[in-house]
Amino acid sequence: MLNTLKTNFGYDSFRPLQKEIIDHVAGRNDALVLMPTGGGKSLCYQLPALLFPGITIVVSPLISLMKDQVDALKANGISAEFLNSTLSPEVIEVIQERAVRGDIKLLYIAPERLANPSFRHFLSSLNVSLIAVDEAHCISEWGHDFRPDYRNFGALRELFKDVPVIALTATATKRVRFDILNQLGLKEDQTFISSFNRPNLQYGVEPKYKTFDQLVTLLNKYKGEPTIIYCFSRKQTEQLASDLRSAGYSAKPYHAGLSKDARQETQEQFITDEVPIIIATIAFGMGIDKPDVRLVVHYDLPKTLESYYQETGRAGRDGLPAECVLFYSLGDKRKQDYFINMMANAEEQENARQKLGQVIEYCNLGVCRRKYILGYFDELVSENSCANCDNCLAPAHDHNITALAQSIIRAVIETGERFGAGHVIKVLRGSKTKRLEDFGHNALSTFGLEKKTSEAELKHAVDQLIKQGIVKKDTGEYPTLSIDSEGRNLLQSGAQIYIQKPKTEMLKLSTPQVADLEYSTELFESLRNLRKQVADQKSVPPFVIFGNKSLIEMAHYLPKNREEFAKISGVGNQKLEQFADIFTELIQTYAIQNNLESKAIPTRAKAEQKRLVSREGSTYAETKRLIDQKLTLQEIANERNIKEGTVISHIEQLVISDSDLDITYLKPVESRLKPILAAFYKSGQTSLSPVRSLLGDTYSFDEIRLARLFLG
Ligand code: ADP
Ligand code: ZN
């Protein structure tokens, strides 16, 4: 399988869950795959398609996506075609004949074709090995993009009762998930859910101040890189596009009011890197698979967190760092309130209001934004900090919370100092619960006083006030809060109260898969130009030739010949044949002019990684078993005949995926641990080297690495 992966797709290892899913599907089982955008869903049916003897039918709702996918497959030397309304009857006939002859491995079709009996007759003459349903949420009315044509799927299933079906979607909500299972007749235990975390996306919210200037600052940071800016109204997209053009940016609007041709053209120019900035209403993006979008800006509030996740999800599909910034003002909220108030259906209105409320809560959040988003999709994260959102990245600083602290103190007093933090927070947030009403707490002056503050932020503030002794918390099963004379004095004197904003803790949710390789940007630009030339010649989008990650690797390792070029990620057999010579020539010319040496491409590291990934289940499980038996690191290393460092790397992986893992017994003694942790805080980052140089030789790398697990 790894062989097929490298030869046909040019990759050296699988992304999380890909191998499990491919194994499962290759064993002729049905599957429902839930993976975030950019997670690598396509490979989950494209690779099995190559392993099966017959053809794979891919049902896909978006005509433009079909073409890109087929172009990308062809660029890898895989025989693929699509059938949709953009093709002439003659072309369709030729493709159908080739399919019947068994010349095509993957055939993409639009769902509406399935309604046609003669098309079904054609399908029934094929040797079908696998059916893939892309964007499977389109089958659900609860999804954000219901397509009635998807209901034709039943007819397809009827034709091929014994053929395995794989359905794929990036939609995470439970309701849609169960609907898909029902509609497609799949079983729940065939569901594969990967984490919806997108570690390479950096989230941030900026209060609107001088919005246009703020936008320009951002755009300058990403000069020339693909960017999508979402706006509330069509008019606004036009206005902003023209303002940006006046300021010297190449930008175009995109919305449903434009003609089909105009939209098509804009989309094409964006995909082929001719116009880098698109200003769109939400209508933009569904038909686009551009993997190298570096910046997504919400110039206005999104309507729901779900749509925010979808829209920001279009950034950084290639796994390289990308940024998502939301501009927020209360005025925007009022604008949306206005539309909500005009809704006729009371239930819809309430629903919209609640969803908007969550968006506002997200904007006002003082804690990790990623954790909040993932929590919204029922994904629980034990770490409090991701180190890649504005709140987690902000240096710890003193934060004046005098007004908030006064509200908390008053609420504790008003409720008679007989309740715990949870209840007090509910009062302040104005929760409408029966318990609150029973106590008459909905009539208190502090009821709803901190409606706009998030629950997480209130909790953090209460914790800090307890720590500072301003609020007292007694012990016992249901600890209640109270205020002593000191706290009451504070309230009267109006003294200022500061708390520490939550500081970046060191453990990350998972390590972003970013290329932290050094390379010359000049060479990178030349490679990019060459890519564009080749792409134009072949009339395909540039990313079909090579992704940015491949270009970065080329610019870093400077491969001299075919043999070295073959080791670059994304280079499979076909691309090696077609592009090795022209790309290595450009690279070598640059290298000679600048006196640069090629670097060895670490196949060993890759082989090691492969081994780990392919045996991931067993090797990690084995280490976990020994940890559960409370063996020391040395004992585990001896028992398994591996290095202690390797054991630690297993533990690092295990703590991310396994919340039950108990490693407290491995905690270094306090006298060793303390200086290491202090060095981590001092260095302000999680990398080992700076800490090691701060500490000197008395601490080994392994010891520092082990200690890192106990940060935060
Ligand atoms: P999705 O459909 O889940 O949004 P795609 O299938 O389009 O994601 O994959 C996103 C990007 O990741 C593509 O550029 C794809 O080529 C790349 N990719 C997929 N699998 C791998 C892998 N195992 N190694 C490296 N890159 C991969
Ligand atoms: Zn965060």
**Which residues partner with 207 through β-bridges?**
328
Q: Using a CB cutoff of 8 Å and minimum separation of 24, what contacts does 21-25 make?
A: 21/166, 21/192, 22/47, 22/48, 24/190, 24/192, 25/130, 25/164, 25/166
Closest among 450, 447, 456, 485 to 469, alpha carbons compared: 485
- Atom from ligand 1 closest to the CA of residue 14: 23
Asked if residue 399 has pLDDT above 80, the reply is no
Mean pLDDT of 478-502: 79
Q: Quote the pLDDT of residue 92.
A: 96
Q: Quote the pLDDT of residue 506.
A: 32
Closest among 487, 395, 138, 172 to 304, alpha carbons compared: 172
**Which residues partner with 166 through β-bridges?**
31, 132
Locus of tokens 């040797």: 127
Pairing of strands 80-83, 201-207: unpaired
For 299, the token pair is 């110039």
* CA of 682 relative to ligand 2 center, distance in Å: 20
Q: Above pLDDT 70, what percent of the chain?
A: 91
Q: Quote the pLDDT of residue 504.
A: 37
Residue type, 419: F
* CA of 20 relative to ligand 1 center, distance in Å: 15
Q: Quote the pLDDT of residue 512.
A: 38
Atom 5 (ligand 1): residue with closest C-alpha? 40
- Atom from ligand 1 closest to the CA of residue 134: 2
Q: Pick the residue with more confidence: 450 or 155?
A: 450
Atom 10 (ligand 1): residue with closest C-alpha? 38
For 701, the token pair is 């790398």
SS3 content of the chain, % helix, strand, coil (to 5): 50, 10, 40
- Atom from ligand 1 closest to the CA of residue 36: 3
Atom 16 (ligand 1): residue with closest C-alpha? 40
The pair phi, psi for residue 132, each rounded to 5°, is -115, 135
Under 8 Å between Cβ of 208 and 214 = yes
Structural domains of the chain in order of their starting residue, each with its CATH number: 2-193 (3.40.50.300), 201-383 (3.40.50.300), 397-499 (1.10.10.10), 515-613 (1.10.150.80)
Report the alpha-carbon angle 239-244-249, nearest 5. 145
* CA of 317 relative to ligand 2 center, distance in Å: 19
Atom 15 (ligand 1): residue with closest C-alpha? 40
pLDDT band, very low/low/confident/very high, at 285 (cuts 50, 70, 90)? low
Give the pLDDT confidence of 63-101 residue by residue, as tens digits: 878 988 999 999 999 999 999 988 999 999 999 999 999
Closest among 322, 313, 369, 361 to 218, alpha carbons compared: 322
Asked if residue 510 has pLDDT above 60, the reply is no
Pairing of strands 128-133, 55-59: parallel
Question: With the CA atoms of 396, 401, 404 and 408 taken in that order, what torsion angle do they form, in degrees rounded to the nearest 10?
Answer: 80
Q: Quote the pLDDT of residue 708.
A: 79
- Ligand nearest 547 Cα, by number? 1
- Ligand nearest 58 Cα, by number? 1
Atom 27 (ligand 1): residue with closest C-alpha? 40
Report the alpha-carbon angle 24-187-124, nearest 5. 75
First-to-final CA distance of the chain? 40
Atom 23 (ligand 1): residue with closest C-alpha? 14
* CA of 614 relative to ligand 1 center, distance in Å: 18
Q: Pick the residue with more confidence: 109 or 514?
A: 109
3-class secondary structure, 131: strand
Which span out of 121-130, 173-182, 205-214 was modeled with the highest average pLDDT? 121-130
Q: Quote the pLDDT of residue 656.
A: 57
Measured CA distances, 149 to 155, 257, 347 (Å): 11, 24, 28
| CA-based R_g, the chain, Å | 28
Atom 9 (ligand 1): residue with closest C-alpha? 40
Which of 3, 6, 11, 47 for mutating ligand 1's site (highest number of atoms within 8 Å of CB)? 11
Q: Is 308 exposed, middle or buried (0-12, 13-18, 19+ CB in 10 A)?
A: buried
* CA of 504 relative to ligand 2 center, distance in Å: 8
- Ligand nearest 6 Cα, by number? 1
pLDDT band, very low/low/confident/very high, at 367 (cuts 50, 70, 90)? confident
- Atom from ligand 1 closest to the CA of residue 15: 23
- Atom from ligand 1 closest to the CA of residue 12: 24
Q: Quote the pLDDT of residue 545.
A: 95
Q: How far apart are CA 453 and CA 471, in angstroms?
A: 19
- Ligand nearest 394 Cα, by number? 2
Q: How many CB atoms lie within 10 A of CB 574?
A: 17
3-class secondary structure, 514: coil
Tell me how long the chain is. 712
Q: How far apart are CA 543 and CA 289, in angstroms?
A: 10
Residues having CB closer than 6 A to ligand 1 are: 11, 14-15, 18, 35, 37-43, 289, 291, 317-318, 547
Q: Quote the pLDDT of residue 505.
A: 35
Asked if residue 661 has pLDDT above 60, the reply is yes
Residue 469 zone, left/alpha/beta (φ > 0; ψ -120 to 50; rest): left
Asked if residue 690 has pLDDT above 60, the reply is yes
Round the average pLDDT of the chain to a whole number and report it.
Answer: 86
pLDDT band, very low/low/confident/very high, at 15 (cuts 50, 70, 90)? confident
* CA of 195 relative to ligand 2 center, distance in Å: 16
Q: Pick the residue with more confidence: 147 or 58?
A: 58
Asked if residue 42 has pLDDT above 50, the reply is yes
Give the pLDDT confidence of 236-256 residue by residue, as tens digits: 999 999 999 999 999 999 998
- Ligand nearest 201 Cα, by number? 2
Give the pLDDT confidence of 161-173 residue by residue, as tens digits: 999 999 999 876 7
Atom 18 (ligand 1): residue with closest C-alpha? 40
Per residue, the 3-state secondary structure of 399-413, as one string, reads EECHHHHHHHHHHHH
* CA of 556 relative to ligand 2 center, distance in Å: 30
What residue spans of 394-520 are helical by DSSP H? 402-414, 421-429, 434-438, 455-467, 485-493
Pairing of strands 227-230, 277-280: parallel
Mean pLDDT of 211-218: 92
Closest among 201, 217, 236, 392 to 308, alpha carbons compared: 201
Atom 26 (ligand 1): residue with closest C-alpha? 11
Which of 3, 15, 546 for mutating ligand 1's site (highest number of atoms within 8 Å of CB)? 15
Under 8 Å between Cβ of 245 and 259 = no
Q: How many CB atoms lie within 10 A of CB 234?
A: 17
* CA of 75 relative to ligand 1 center, distance in Å: 15
* CA of 508 relative to ligand 2 center, distance in Å: 9
Q: Pick the residue with more confidence: 264 or 298?
A: 298
- Ligand nearest 393 Cα, by number? 2
* CA of 264 relative to ligand 1 center, distance in Å: 24
Asked if residue 614 has pLDDT above 70, the reply is no
Q: Quote the pLDDT of residue 402.
A: 84
